[in-house]
Every structure is written in C-alpha cells, then in structure tokens.
Amino acid sequence: MNEQTVDTFGNEMMTLNMGPQHPSTHGVIRFVVTSDGEIMQKAVPHVGYLHRGIEKIAEGIPWQSFTPYTDRVDYLAAMFANHGWAMAVERLAGIEVPPRAEYIRVIASELNRIASHLVAVGAMAMDIGAFTPFLHGIREREKINDLMEELCGQRLTYNFVRVGGVSSDLTPGWDKKALAFIEALGPLLDEFNRLITGNEILVKRCADVAVIDPRTAKSFGLVGPNLRASGVDWDLRRDQPYSVYDKFEFRVCTGKGWRGRVGDSYDRFVVRVDEMIESVKILKQALGGIPEGPVMAKLSKKLKPPKGEVYAAVESARGELGYYVVSDGGEQPYRAKIRTGSFAALSAIEALSCGLMIADLVVLIASFDVVAPEIDR
C-alpha cells in the first residue's frame, strides 16, 4: 500500500507500510505510517501475524502439558514464561516448591534476563546503524546459551521450570562455570558502555525521543524496563516478592534523564544495561547460597487443582508476565489468559509516533523491546 491522503489543511499525506517483514519491527508486525514527508502523523500497529491461540490450547490439554507452549510466548525470555505458568498452577493446587528448585529458577531466570537484554540493547544499536555492539551482545549471549544447553538441553525454548520445581538438577561443575561467566561479564559490560552507551551518535538519536512521563506510562499499562525508564520505581521481584527474590539484595533501576528527559528512548536503553549489572549481583548471591535438597515436589500422577482462580506474575525481561488461570476441578484448565508486556507497549506507539521522524519510529520500537509472539500469543 502506498497511497496519498489529504489532511484538514489540504496538505498531502503519504500512507506507507512498515513491515510486516522488516528488520526494525522486531518480529512479524506491520505499522501503517501516515506521514507528511519525513514527519509522521501516526503509526498504527497491525498485529495478529503470529497468533496461534495458545490460550485456547491450554483448555484442551493437562496442566503440566502446557509448559512447552509457554516457551513460545516469548522466545527471547522463555524461562520467565515457564516460571509464571508453574507459579499459577502451584498456587491453585497448593504445591510447595523445594528451596533448591526455587534458587535454580532464579539463577536460570536471571541468566535469561541478561541474554534477553543483550539482544535488546544490541539490536537497538544495530537498528540505529551500529552493527558491532550487536555482535558483542550475541557473543555473550552464546555463552549463556551454552550454559542453558548444559542445564536443560535447550538453548532457546527451555521447558525447564516445571509445575513443582525444575526438570533437572545442576550438572556437576555447572555452578562454577556460571560464576566464571558472570565474573567476566562485569568488565565486558563496562566495555559495552564505553563502546556504545556513551556514544555521541546513539545519544543524539535517542535522547529526548518519544518521551513518556510516569502518568502516561501507567495509563498505557507499561511494565518492566519501559515503566521504570519513565521514573516509576516498581519491580515485582521487590514489590510483590515471589520465589526467593526476597532473599537477595539488588537495586531497582529507573530512568534519570541521563542525557535528555526522564522516560526518553535513551533512558530505556540505559535501564536495560543497568539491569544486567543488577542481575549479575543476584546471580552471585544465588549461586553462593544455593541449598541442598530435591528439585521437584512430589506430585500425583493426575494433577487436579481444586475449583478456583488465580493470577500469578513474574518480572520478565519485558516486565510483568502474568497468567490468570481458572480451574473447574478437572485435569485441564477451564480458562487461561496471559498478560504480556509487549502488548501493552505496542499500544502506546500510535500516540507517541505523532510528530516524530520516520527514522525515529525505528528508535521507538527498538527502545520498547517488543517481541511479536508476546503480542499475538
């Protein structure tokens, strides 16, 4: 589609497609852009290209069998999707998870957060025009993938966090390998900051672009780094503690208007870099204090949670990832609804795009770190 329209002042507007197959849309997403030359009037997202109906699928299979489907909610941070589903079922069924399994869940999740953020900041730099930082991020992510493969046999869709615990214990020496990786990651993040975070071109492309104030961020339902970058000090790991996060000390990273205004695209970039540093702190504490014991609770062959409903949420790499689940007392969920951060973030793009340059839409999409499967489900 490439058509001309006329605004109320008689100026000719151009309507263009960006996507659905476009390297800067971070998945199969289509934006219909109406612009006056290089200045956008609006960019309307059109979604559904990756809709698979997995919430409906959940109603037709046993509780534990839905875990592999959750991996497909967010392929860049599948561990969180596993964890949120397991928590929802455990709360419904009154299952107590062994302490060692909880520690392993946190370790796996924080490694996955780092892996996801490495792609987010690397891809954002690449979208702007700097290819080298993306390679630096992918290099470190591959090391995490190697750790994950040794931990659970998978590099992307893990199926690791199960109802009642985790699928397997740490392999001998795995904790030492993980500790060696995170010890080396700190200096590498410093190098990344020198290479790109303070880079003048990136700062000029991102600072003061698509500013979201705290009130607007809340009204759009933004979560995670996108919400915290607007100066809202909220993190489920601290404010609604789950698993064993209340045992660890870490800082909740928020936007400070580092090189522009609070809540701009640059703050969203910096918050993700800072969160990787905090994840390193959590990992050191978790690996140093992991208890002995089993990694799976004793479950009956056929899981039948009593009638009821529950909402369980985790702090994913893209913010609050929650499951609202209803049980009718049977072997399958009666209803399952997934709440994702990317869907909420995408809803803000149309409002924020007005007055931006077309090139700035690329920055806006990248700074939100949206993932298409999380939007469509």
d(CA 51, CA 338): 13
Rounded to a whole number of angstroms, the distance between the first and last alpha carbons of the chain is 26
Q: State the chain's mean pLDDT as an integer.
A: 91
| pLDDT digit string, tens, across residues 85-136 | 999 999 999 999 999 999 999 999 999 999 999 999 999 999 888 888 899 9
| Beta strand 161-162 pairing with 165-166 | antiparallel
As a whole number, mean pLDDT of residues 309-322 equals 95
- Model confidence at 157, pLDDT cuts 50, 70, 90, reads very high
Evaluate if residue 317 carries a pLDDT over 60.
yes
Evaluate if residue 10 carries a pLDDT over 60.
no
| pLDDT digit string, tens, across residues 217-272 | 999 999 999 999 999 999 999 999 999 999 999 999 999 988 889 999 999 999 99
d(CA 117, CA 250): 17
- Model confidence at 4, pLDDT cuts 50, 70, 90, reads low
Evaluate if residue 376 carries a pLDDT over 90.
no
d(CA 368, CA 354): 16
Half-sphere exposure (CA, 13 Å, Cβ side) for 103? 21
Residue 352 phi/psi, 5-degree rounding, is: -80, -20
Q: Say if residues 35 and 14 touch (Cβ distance below 8 Å).
A: yes
Lowest mean pLDDT among 18-32, 91-105, 166-180: 18-32
Report the pLDDT value the prediction gives residue 1, as an integer from 0 to 100: 45
| Nearest Cα residue to 153 out of 140, 166, 164 | 166
d(CA 369, CA 377): 16
Report the pLDDT value the prediction gives residue 13, as an integer from 0 to 100: 82
Report the pLDDT value the prediction gives residue 149, as an integer from 0 to 100: 96
Instruction: Provide the token pair at 108.
Output: 């796996």
| pLDDT digit string, tens, across residues 36-76 | 888 999 899 988 888 989 999 999 999 999 999 999 999 89
- Model confidence at 273, pLDDT cuts 50, 70, 90, reads very high
Report the pLDDT value the prediction gives residue 66, as an integer from 0 to 100: 95
d(CA 35, CA 26): 21
Report the pLDDT value the prediction gives residue 12, as an integer from 0 to 100: 78
Q: Is domain 64-366 given the CATH code 3.90.79.10 in the classification?
A: no
Q: Which residues of 301-311 are buried (b: 16+ CB within 10 A; e: fewer)?
A: eebbbeeeebe
Write down the H helix ranges in 162-210: 174-192, 200-206
Kind and range of the H or E element at 360? Answer: helix 358-368
CA distances to 25, 48, 154, 236 from 149, in Å: 28, 31, 5, 28
| pLDDT digit string, tens, across residues 185-201 | 989 999 888 889 888 99
Which residue shows structure tokens 């605004």?
7
Domain ranges for the chain, please list them. 2-46, 64-366
Residue 219 phi/psi, 5-degree rounding, is: -65, -30
d(CA 70, CA 85): 7
pTM exceeds 0.75 = yes
- Model confidence at 2, pLDDT cuts 50, 70, 90, reads very low
Distance of CA 223 to the CA centre of its chain: 10
At 196, the amino acid letter reads I
| Nearest Cα residue to 283 out of 35, 66, 104 | 104
Lowest mean pLDDT among 17-21, 30-34, 150-154, 370-374: 17-21
Evaluate if residue 3 carries a pLDDT over 70.
no
* Residues in Cβ contact with 86 at an 8 Å cutoff, skipping those fewer than 6 apart: 67, 161, 162, 163, 164
